Amino acid sequence: MSTPPQLPSIVIGRPIGADQRPYVIAELSANHLGKLERAIAIIDAAADAGCDAIKLQTFTPSSMTLESTDGDFHIPDGPWKGRSLWDLYDEAHTPWEWHAPLFAHAAARGMVAFSTPFDEEAVQLLDHLGAPAFKIASFELVDLELIRAAARTNKPLIMSTGMASDAEVAEALETARSAGNGGVALLHCISGYPAPIAQTNLRRMEQLASYGTVIGISDHSPGAIVPIAAVSRGAAIIEKHLTLARTDGGPDAGFSLEPQEMTEVVRSCALAWSALGDGSSRRPKAEDGSRRFRRSLYAAVDIAEGQVLTRSNIRSIRPGFGLPPRELPTVIGKRARVQIARGTPLAWELIG
């Protein structure tokens, strides 16, 4: 199986053949738990699992919200119930001074590193670090100024579409395309944490594909089932959160994969992709040995020269060295030119 295309290539719409697997992105997010060495260990786990890229999130609490615990800034339910937005983002952010060493470590492990910026300053930092693409998070898909800032770098944008209406997706896509020429990929996403498998609605990917972009999925459901199914719907990019162990805790632990689960996602999605094939009617090589055992016409008993062929003395049976079964109505009623022994495959030269 060939190496997947590099990130800038996959999102500008280069055709992806059946011999190439989906591009798998491991999301670091807040799973570093405030420790640089843990972030590095997650990069190592992603590389060991066979992921193609590691994705960070680049923000500060002040770029996300206001420092307040009241009213709109209090989280009333969900996995972060009871916290303030400021407190959550203060815990979850990846320090900016970590970005350069994390990018370098990913490159040393043979992976692409890029990130989700949340303001124009973050775009500038990532561009300076040589990030090959930008991710636009579902929550920021409606932030057209942010999309413009990222698109103006002429680097590819990978945009998640959680919560978005068709109109919002179209508006974000038009904004990106009008501001830059780096190309866009759209990721189907359910912004639930975790996302129930039954609510994933993968048929939605058909609409995303109609925009003429590479499509994929940013998935927050447990396990590998949804990514595998997404591949069958045309997903060329798979994004999943990765942690070392869910029991270690953290804001994203409940919807993150552990290393062995990520390995299974990479392996299973590669197999699912290879199973798609090219859709041609060409008989696969695996069938070469089976064709001989299809049904064909045989003499079921000894048939004398001149004897009439009937459904009693000619049968459609295995193997397949005789005339094809579709010829049975044609040969019935004809006579044997020569004596035909039981078990002889029927051929036109035996029939008068």
Average confidence score pLDDT of the chain: 93
CATH node for 286-350? 3.90.1210.10
Give every residue of the chain whose pLDDT is below 50, as ranges.
1-5, 13-19
pLDDT of residue 293: 95
pLDDT of residue 278: 84
Instruction: Report in angstroms the alpha-carbon separations of 2 from 83, 127, 139, 268, 274.
Output: 46, 29, 34, 15, 11
Instruction: Report in angstroms the alpha-carbon separations of 141 from 61, 135, 315.
Output: 19, 10, 66
Q: Which CATH number fits domain 7-276: 2.60.15.10, 3.20.20.70, 1.20.1290.10, 3.30.70.260?
A: 3.20.20.70
pLDDT of residue 171: 98
pLDDT of residue 2: 43
pLDDT digits (tens, 9 = 90+) for 230-255: 999 999 999 999 999 999 999 999 99
Contact between 226 and 255 under an 8 Å Cβ cutoff? The reply is: no
Contact between 195 and 225 under an 8 Å Cβ cutoff? The reply is: no
| Domain boundaries, given as residue ranges, for the chain | 7-276, 286-350
Contact between 308 and 296 under an 8 Å Cβ cutoff? The reply is: no
pLDDT digits (tens, 9 = 90+) for 269-295: 999 998 988 889 998 999 999 999 999
